[in-house]
Structure 1
């Protein structure tokens, strides 16, 4: 029998020499809460010093996916309370008031600390990226040493859809994808297949979903580097690997020029036109912020990228678009966000730069 611990909505078990983390909120697609991320980080630290645990595996309960991201619905109601009390959303209409601390700030700080713990973990960390793996789901898997995808994997960072920029170290990962594919995936929020995920460097190995239980059991007694090749299969081709138009359009360093290039390519490449239309539906501010954040992260360490993302998120908590994006997607579910500013043309360089400005009194402690 293994050692089992249940902490809120996440379960921990030691089976043989394998530490198993199970995200256990299947009805919420295993979305992360603050208690979950705190518990995972503490357990990982304990297992790092436990000689009986040779490797760690993370998986999601249920059959829909590993994790759909952070539980942002609760964050919405915090923004409603704090912003309404202080006279309404503060960006881009005025200077943000950092005197008021949102409870959600601690959630993001704890989550990013967990992400760094995974990225620097001293033992093999195996992530079963089966089904939906979005946003914070990338944070608990994409930084691991062995990232397993299946035919059911749907991977993505959809933050610009809810008025946020990719976080959880996502800008670091996307910034290191081949060519400009990471920028494309990050600002559009598109879902990636298993093959796309491997090509972009967000995953490593393809295994049939029906083999995951057998793989997990084998890992309880054998090292991952011996076991995983026995289960690995050849993955199909990546559609994005063949999308030469992405590098052509995104080679520009200014987003306005990227959009113009997509519009021009649309005459001969329908996918380019579809991408331009998609980008115009996202938060205009956060499309441009994410574009810059991913470019900047190409020159940053994981820890530095997380610190940059934390600053952006602190500003976003005081913005109109983050609140409005969550409302439209998850609260009212009308899928009709009223962005402010409403168009990409209205988002100037000063507004984008504001999201990268120092955040008074908000220091991210990751260690």
Structure 2
């Protein structure tokens, strides 16, 4: 028996019959024109569905995917967020921004702590908020089309959606490098940086879901191990993967990010003059990016290093709302996505600007109940 939203819904929900009387729940992001960028409506649909499925003993596992091969999710709907900020420039916190970020982070936290296995199919573009959906899932698939990035440096934001928690947990200091530069990751990079678990051909997505529906799920069985068994049957060989840029340039990344001051790290990255096109693009992105975003990314790596997941999300919510009030975010979205002139006018941050970003704008954090 299938339960599905209307065709006009940005998130299609269904429950597919599986063997043994259990069912496989599937949530499909379905806004191809925006590359499935997350809106508050989509966040609420996903969060409500995940809550219901977690409480339903007949649901064996959940699959989260998109309706197209081009992208899983290209991030949050920052255009609409910018409009809301411009409509209420003096509001602190902006009510639209608070609703969006608090509910997005709550959804991401739910995925991280979900009681049932969640398979995220991360084919195509996975950026920003899309990585927030993927990073915490129990089973994460990447393909030959996967392109992951946290490009917030280019829009005056910072690596959020749990980035302050999962970036420092990557090998060495590559999480810091990725947060500062927004450098893109392929499938091999995702596996190396612990953002993915399996490399499977994009053409096998439907076959994987069909196979999950043929498994004899039982309420007593270890559903996570069962899902692993199915995915291993479709896993591609290591030889089929592209080379990992992060692994290839790991020593160079460590050298560039080894200083104890942000200014020295930024200078080292920007000064790269080697032959790697990937590192050249990373240096260029940092050089052209928001200095305020770089400062936030650096500070969050330090402040969140020893925080638990829930505390990291609470900290990010404070910073996100303050960051939205700083002019770089609206200017960055304008330059990249609206006017598309790629010529943002960044405001050099003063020390008090950065300090204020860590001051809570309310007496009680809306995510205070997360644990």
Fold-level match, TM-score > 0.5?
A: yes
Matches within 5 A, 1:272-291: 275-291=282-298
TM-score, length-normalised on structure 1? 0.90
Q: Aligned match of 2:365 in 356, 363, 366?
A: 363
Report the counterpart of residue 223 of structure 2 in structure 1. Answer: none
Report the counterpart of residue 300 of structure 1 in structure 2. Answer: 307
Q: After the TM superposition, which of the residue ranges 249-258 and 209-218 deviates more from structure 2?
A: 249-258
TM-score, length-normalised on structure 2? 0.89
Give the ranges of 4+ consecutive aligned residues of structure 1 lying more than 6 Å apart after TM superposition: 267-271
Q: Distance in 2 between matches of 1:105 and 1:148?
A: 31
With over 3 angstroms needed to count, the CA separation of the structure-2 counterparts of 1:158 and 1:260, relative to structure 1, is: closer
Q: Match of 1:12, SS?
A: strand
Unaligned runs of 5+ in 2: 18-22, 216-225
Q: Match of 1:141, SS?
A: helix
Pairwise CA distance, 1:296: 2.8
Maintained 8 Å contact 2:141/2:198: yes
**1:351 equivalent in alignment to 2:357:** no
**1:137 equivalent in alignment to 2:138:** no
**1:234 equivalent in alignment to 2:237:** yes
Report the counterpart of residue 326 of structure 1 in structure 2. Answer: 333
Deviations 1:106-149 (A, max 9, x none): 01111111001000001111000000000000111110000000
Q: Distance in 2 between matches of 1:363 and 1:260?
A: 36
Maintained 8 Å contact 1:18/1:221: no
Report the counterpart of residue 151 of structure 1 in structure 2. Answer: 144
Q: Distance in 1 between matches of 2:246 and 2:150?
A: 16
Pairwise CA distance, 1:348: 4.5
Unaligned runs of 5+ in 1: 87-96, 342-346
Maintained 8 Å contact 2:123/2:142: yes
With over 3 angstroms needed to count, the CA separation of the structure-2 counterparts of 1:272 and 1:53, relative to structure 1, is: closer
Q: Distance in 2 between matches of 1:140 and 1:269?
A: 30
Report the counterpart of residue 169 of structure 1 in structure 2. Answer: 162
Q: After the TM superposition, which of the residue ranges 121-130 and 299-308 deviates more from structure 2?
A: 299-308
Q: Distance in 1 between matches of 2:176 and 2:49?
A: 33
State how many pairs are aligned.
Answer: 349
Matches within 5 A, 1:6-155: 6=6, 8-16=9-17, 17-83=23-89, 86=90, 98=92, 101-155=94-148
RMSD: 2.0
